């Protein structure tokens, strides 16, 4: 078992590491990583080994665990480095996801800092089976069901799992045979975490462990095949970057979905399943629409689908609008829609909405937020309201030379003082999924 601790994949890193350590081992202090560090130290063949510890700060004993790990590394004659995570999970983010993201980032950074191009992790066959089962229960596709790869290059560091095919019983036997000491993390018994809840009932699935792990292998092979097909298809449907919608529509449904997923991953950095499914339903060669996407938005126009980063603000042409009737008035070039509804209180007289100028900010606009307040620079009004750039997105509406409406702030208070009936409330709504044909804008340029 010790001899299997340091395999390397055939692919070399982009550049050779300079100095420092040769092999890093992710070392939590638990049974599995303790056994892996011990086996690596015994079989490293003169290569320099470094134990990497991430202190999550989630347990009262976290500091004591770090002291234990440092002592274990010293006893084995290997180097030791540690990082303590700071911050906390974002609202709605699970502790597991936050800790995993922080741990991965810390391990990558410490490996690079130490000059180690190989990072070993102690995941074993049961871990792989659990990962496959949890992903399957979440409805994951091939990428999720492929679970954990045995080796993967990440920005110059090879993340390797040499014991991925080993049963945990063999690792336990190794640890007892060598009299190793390890930490028992009490959070591993907390049933609030999905993996822990599964482990409490693992005895019922023990015989299926090898089969589930093998399913991950089949999924990895199918994923690699899908990637090869996507690479070939993208050379035809997206040779210059944008997706050629006519060529894409000519693919079979399975290949079209596969190519779209790969194209999104290239352009956006990820391919959310919900977005892929929506685009498959709504994209067409003649489509002219926008969809929200991670970090920006997607635009179908003139037979091509392109991703636009958030930094590229939507800005359409200046025009006159008649908003004097209730309804929806899509503005595709601005990426949104005007919604007009009757109101008994406040609002704007219908007569004042017959010839509004829709335009971009040019500077110098004045906005009055309340009836008895003083009109001030629109920029100052946005700053006082603490509105982000995305909340300010959209066109302005002016009546003559006076500002009537600003996205995020709403109607200028002076508009509600204008006399006349009936009265309407107007609102700008950013809407990448524009309801084409609904309402009737009457531009006059």
The per-residue pLDDT for range 175-222, each reduced to its tens digit, is 999 999 999 876 665 555 556 666 666 666 667 888 888 988 898 899
Two structure tokens written together for 128: 């792989």
Cα 393 to Cα 312: distance, rounded to the nearest angstrom: 11
pLDDT band at 363 (very low <50, low <70, confident <90, very high): confident
Whether pLDDT at 420 is above 80: yes
Q: Read off the pLDDT band of 273 (50, 70, 90).
A: confident
- Burial string for 109-148 (b: 16+ CB within 10 Å, else e) reads ebbbebbbbbbbbbbbbbbbbbbbbbbbeeebbbbbbbbb
- Do 412 and 404 form a contact (C-beta atoms < 8 A)? yes
113 token code pair: 């800092």
Give pLDDT tens digits for 213-248.
898 889 889 999 999 999 999 999 999 889 999 999
Mean of pLDDT over the chain: 83
pLDDT at 205: 67
Question: 17-26, 69-78, 294-303, 346-355: lowest mean pLDDT where?
Answer: 17-26
Average of pLDDT values for 62-73? 94
Residue 434 clears pLDDT 50, i.e. is over it: no
> HSE (CB half, 13 Å, CA atoms) of 5?
26
Give Cα 302 to chain centroid, integer Å.
29
Confidence label for 19 from pLDDT (cuts 50, 70 and 90) = very low
pLDDT over 80 (residue 310):
no
Q: Which residues contact 370 (CB under 8 A, 6 or more apart)?
A: 413
Mean pLDDT of 26-36: 96
DSSP run (H or E) holding 244: strand 243-244
Q: Give one word for 164, left, alpha or beta, with left for phi > 0 and alpha for psi -120 to 50.
A: alpha
* Residue 331, beta-bridge partner list: 336
CB atoms within 10 A of CB 53: 25
Higher model confidence: residue 70 or residue 376?
70
Dist CA 409 CA 413 (whole Å): 10
Contact predicate 316/331, CB 8 Å: yes
Residue 393, marked binder: no
User: Could you tell me how far CA 21 lies from the centroid of its own chain?
Assistant: 32
Q: What are 104-137's pLDDT values in tens digits?
A: 999 999 999 999 999 999 999 999 988 888 888 8
- Read off the DSSP letter of residue 316: -
The average pLDDT across 298-303 equals 86
Decide if domain 238-309 falls under CATH 1.20.59: yes
Beta carbons of 255 and 299 less than 8 angstroms apart: no
Binding residue per annotation — 28?
yes
- SS3 state at 368: coil
Alpha carbon of residue 199 to chain centroid: 28
Question: Which of 76-80, 142-146, 421-425 is the least confident region?
Answer: 142-146
Over residues 275-300, the mean pLDDT reads: 87
Q: Is 30 annotated as a binding residue?
A: yes
Residue 405 in this model has a pLDDT that exceeds 70: yes
- 8 Å CB contact between 437 and 443: no
- Are 213 and 58 within 8 A, CB to CB? no
Highest mean predicted confidence (pLDDT) among 55-64, 247-256, 375-384? 247-256
pLDDT reading at 379 higher than 90 = no
Predicted confidence at residue 13, as pLDDT, reads 26
Write down the CATH superfamily of domain 2-209.
HUPs (3.40.50.620)
- Whether the per-residue pLDDT at 313 is higher than 60: the answer is no
**N-to-C CA span, the chain:** 78
More confident position, 74 or 206: 74
Work out the average pLDDT over 419-435: 76
Confidence category of residue 140, pLDDT binned at 50, 70, 90? confident
Residue 3's pLDDT is: 39
| Under 8 Å between Cβ of 267 and 294 | no
- Kindly report each contact of residues 244-252 with a partner whose C-beta sits within 8 Å and lies 24 or more positions away, as own/partner: 244/303, 244/304, 245/283, 245/284, 245/285, 245/286, 245/287, 245/300, 245/303, 245/304, 245/305, 246/285, 246/303, 248/283, 248/305, 249/283, 249/284, 249/285
CB atoms within 10 A of CB 256: 18
Predicted pLDDT of residue 389: 58
Closest CA to 259 of 302, 229, 301: 229
**Angle at which helices 273-282 and 253-268 cross, to 10°:** 130
pLDDT, residue 190, reads 56
Q: Can you say whether the dihedral through the CA atoms of 18, 21, 23, 28 is positive or negative?
A: negative
**Average pLDDT rounded to a whole number, residues 279-283:** 92
- Among 18-27, 153-162, 186-195, the range of highest mean pLDDT: 153-162
Indicate the domain borders of the chain.
Answer: 2-209, 238-309, 319-430
pLDDT of the residue at 201? 65
| 32 marked ligand binding residue | yes
Name which of 22-36, 59-73, 196-210, 378-392 the model is least confident about.
Answer: 196-210
Q: Are 114 and 184 in contact (CB under 8 A)?
A: no
Q: Which two tokens stand for residue 422?
A: 């009936």
Lowest mean pLDDT among 16-30, 54-68, 86-100, 352-366: 16-30
For residue 187, what pLDDT is reported? 62
User: Is 86's pLDDT higher than 70?
Assistant: yes
Position 198 scores a pLDDT of 66
Whether residue 311 is predicted with pLDDT greater than 80 in this model: the reply is no
Q: Is 378 exposed, middle or buried (0-12, 13-18, 19+ CB in 10 A)?
A: buried
């Amino acid at each position: 078992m010790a001899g299997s601790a340091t395999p390397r994949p055939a692919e070399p890193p982009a550049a050779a590491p300079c100095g420092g350590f040769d092999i890093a081992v992710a070392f939590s202090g638990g049974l599995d990583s303790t056994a892996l560090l011990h086996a690596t130290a015994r079989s490293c063949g003169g290569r320099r080994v470094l134990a990497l510890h991430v202190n999550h700060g989630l347990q009262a004993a976290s500091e004591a665990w770090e002291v234990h790990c440092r002592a274990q590394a010293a006893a084995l004659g290997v180097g030791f480095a540690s990082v303590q995570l700071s911050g906390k999970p974002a609202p709605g983010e699970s502790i597991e996801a936050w800790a995993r993201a922080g741990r991965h980032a810390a391990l990558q950074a410490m490996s690079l800092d130490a000059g180690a191009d190989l990072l070993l992790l102690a995941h074993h066959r049961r871990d792989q089976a659990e990962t496959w089962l949890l992903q399957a229960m979440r409805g994951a596709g091939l990428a999720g069901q492929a679970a954990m790869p045995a080796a993967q290059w990440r920005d110059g560091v090879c993340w390797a799992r040499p014991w991925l095919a080993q049963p945990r019983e063999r690792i336990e036997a190794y640890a007892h045979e060598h009299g190793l000491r390890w930490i028992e993390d009490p959070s591993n018994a907390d049933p609030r975490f999905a993996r822990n809840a599964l482990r409490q009932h693992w005895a019922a699935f023990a015989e299926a462990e090898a089969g589930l792990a093998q399913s991950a292998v089949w999924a990895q092979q199918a994923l690699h095949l899908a990637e090869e097909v996507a690479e070939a298809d993208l050379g035809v449907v997206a040779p210059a970057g944008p997706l050629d919608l006519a060529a894409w529509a000519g693919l079979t449904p399975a290949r079209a979905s596969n190519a779209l997923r790969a194209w999104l991953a290239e352009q956006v950095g990820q391919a959310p399943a919900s977005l892929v499914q929506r685009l498959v339903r709504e994209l067409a060669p003649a489509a002219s629409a926008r969809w929200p996407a991670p970090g920006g938005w997607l635009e179908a126009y003139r037979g091509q689908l392109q991703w636009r980063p958030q930094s590229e603000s939507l800005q359409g042409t200046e025009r006159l609008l008649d908003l004097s009737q209730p309804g929806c008035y899509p503005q595709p070039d601005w990426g949104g829609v005007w919604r007009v509804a009757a109101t008994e209180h406040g609002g704007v007289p219908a007569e004042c909405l017959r010839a509004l100028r829709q335009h971009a900010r040019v500077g110098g606009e004045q906005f009055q937020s309340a009836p008895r307040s003083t009109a001030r620079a629109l920029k100052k009004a946005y700053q006082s309201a603490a509105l982000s750039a995305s909340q300010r997105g959209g066109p302005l509406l002016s009546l003559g030379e006076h500002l009537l409406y600003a996205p995020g702030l709403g109607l200028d208070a002076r508009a509600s003082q204008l006399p006349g009936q009936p009265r309407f409330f107007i609102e700008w709504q950013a809407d990448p999924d524009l309801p084409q044909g609904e309402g009737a804008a009457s531009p006059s340029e």
